[in-house]
Amino acid sequence: LPVLEVDEVTGAYGRGARMRQVLAPTTFALHAGESVAVVGPSGAGKSTLADIVLGLRAPASGAVRVQGEAWVEPTRQPVRVQRRLVQGVPQDPAASFVPRWTIRISIAQAVRRLTGVRDADEAILRAAGLAHLETTLLDHRPAQLSGGQAQRAAIARALAVGPQVLVADEPTSALDPETANSVSQALLASAAEAGAGLLIVTHDPHLAQRCTRTVTIAPPQHNS
């Protein structure tokens, strides 16, 4: 059973006569340990697809299933039965952590909220190891981390809650090429090792090449 099925999913903004399709019908499946690179021109709807898979918005049509179960359904509020199963690595990770909290506290909070587990120490150390995040950095605040370290911290936070699917939207676009390369490597390796499926939106052909598969999103045809 695939961890993620995206079945004829489309995206749209607005409603009625003002509705505009921004994601052409997209279909693919992702198995545990696999990675899929989502590529396509700017404005094709790649971020829209990432948000739909994250459960942050509903598709206009089609279905998303996580481990065979409906995840988000057209035109309804996203049904996120088990929110922990799909986790995101945001584009601006430093801004996704609470500024006054240490990374450790932010991750512990995410684990507690999404899994109910109160003692997250073991999960945090394991996730930091997977993400190649130095454990001393767990006691830093987000502003004290470099861009690459903040990305690793966000990967660790995502993995600490035990997701089946990891979604990264342009995870390395704000990093210099060398840091981007090592963060991408850590992302691919850690998702595979954790047994999660990885969906990466990327413009980087080298990163796309290292994924199991590439899904190319074509811009939708507008009839305005």
Out of 10, 26, 35, 47, the residue judged to bind ligand ADP by CB under 6 A: 47
Let me know: does 92 contact 174? Beta carbons within 8 Å. Answer: yes
Contact call for residue 220 and ligand ADP (CB under 6 A) = no
Nearest-approach distance from CB 217 to ligand ADP, in angstroms:
6
Residues 22-41 within binding reach of ligand ADP (CB under 6 A): 22, 40
Contact call for residue 110 and ligand ADP (CB under 6 A) = yes
User: Judged by CB, which is closer to ligand ADP: 165, or 180?
Assistant: 165
Residues 1-20 within binding reach of ligand ADP (CB under 6 A): 13
Contact call for residue 62 and ligand ADP (CB under 6 A) = no
Tokens 């850590």, located at residue: 186
Nearest-approach distance from CB 142 to ligand ADP, in angstroms:
13
Contact call for residue 162 and ligand ADP (CB under 6 A) = no
Q: CA-CA distance, 201 to 192, in Å (whole number)? A: 17
Nearest-approach distance from CB 197 to ligand ADP, in angstroms:
15
Contact call for residue 44 and ligand ADP (CB under 6 A) = yes
Let me know: does 86 contact 125? Beta carbons within 8 Å. Answer: no
User: Judged by CB, which is closer to ligand ADP: 84, or 178?
Assistant: 84
User: Judged by CB, which is closer to ligand ADP: 108, or 178?
Assistant: 108
Out of 2, 59, 88, 162, the residue judged to bind ligand ADP by CB under 6 A: 88
Let me know: does 72 contact 49? Beta carbons within 8 Å. Answer: no
Contact call for residue 158 and ligand ADP (CB under 6 A) = yes
Residues 192-211 within binding reach of ligand ADP (CB under 6 A): none
| Contacts to ligand ADP by CB under 6 A | 13, 22, 40, 42-48, 54, 56, 87-88, 90, 110, 157-158, 169
